[in-house]
Amino acid sequence: MEVKVAKTAGFCFGVQRAVDKVYELLASPDARIYTLGPIIHNETVVSDLEQKGVSVIEEQDLDTLKEGTVVIRSHGVGRRVYEKLKEKGISYVDVTCPFVLKIHRIVEREGKNGSHVVIIGDASHPEVKGICGWCSGPYTVIAQEKEAEEFFPEEGKSICVVSQTTFNYNKFKELVEIL
């Protein structure tokens, strides 16, 4: 039997970059590595990294962290997390996906320009939480048709629509059409 593996099989480049970076950091002797949330939605990889000494922490754990390096995963984080890391002098490596970083810059800029930002995606997803953390003005997260139908922006205000990078494209198009 011949097995063919699709060229696009495996992790997206942003996730692969993040995972590779954590393994690279582990090569340093006495490295104490933390990931801000699981580095990937893949229990096998997360478990392997934990067995090698990587600890998964959450934002509130930064308050008590004294040493080590924090890895910001490919989903990205909001501005407040960077500020906290800098304020506490915590070493960090940012492996946010470049596509996600671009969305951060867009929502920050558009919010400053007075636009109402609409983020199409799952409000509980770490990527969407990170995007929200870069909004510098009003924003709304929409994942369902009903939410899109009930969205009424302020009269005369521009709207900037962005999407969670892993959100279903057909669903995205449907929601934009409703808006």
pLDDT on residue 100: 94
User: What mean pLDDT is predicted for residues 112-118?
Assistant: 94
Annotation marks residue 127 as catalytic: yes
* Residues forming a β-bridge with 35: 56, 71
pLDDT on residue 18: 83
Distances (CA, A) of 160 to 53, 116, 133, 149: 42, 6, 16, 17
How many percent of the chain have pLDDT more than 70?
98
Helix axis angle, 98-112 relative to 13-26, nearest 10°? 110
What is the pTM assigned to this prediction?
A: 0.86
**Per-residue pLDDT tens digits for 73-97:** 989 999 999 999 999 999 999 999 9
> Which is more confidently placed, 35 or 18?
35
**Per-residue pLDDT tens digits for 116-131:** 999 999 999 999 999 9
- Which has the minimum average pLDDT: 11-15, 147-151, 164-168? 11-15
pLDDT on residue 88: 92
**Per-residue pLDDT tens digits for 11-31:** 777 778 888 888 888 888 778
Helix (H, G, I), strand (E, B) or coil at 131: helix
Provide the Cα torsion 80, 83, 84, 89; round to 10°: 160
**Per-residue pLDDT tens digits for 42-57:** 888 889 889 988 999 9
Q: What domains are there in the chain, each with its CATH number?
A: 13-96 (3.40.50.11270), 100-178 (3.40.1010.20)
Query: Residue 161: which residues within 8 A CB-CB, separation 6 or more?
Result: 117, 118, 120, 176, 179
pLDDT on residue 42: 80
Could you say which of 2, 127, 145, 177 is catalytic?
127
pLDDT on residue 3: 82
Helix (H, G, I), strand (E, B) or coil at 37: coil
Q: For the chain, what percentages of helix, strand and coil (3-state, to nearest 5) are there?
A: 40, 15, 40
pLDDT on residue 39: 84
Token pair for 148 = 């899109």
User: What mean pLDDT is predicted for residues 105-113?
Assistant: 95
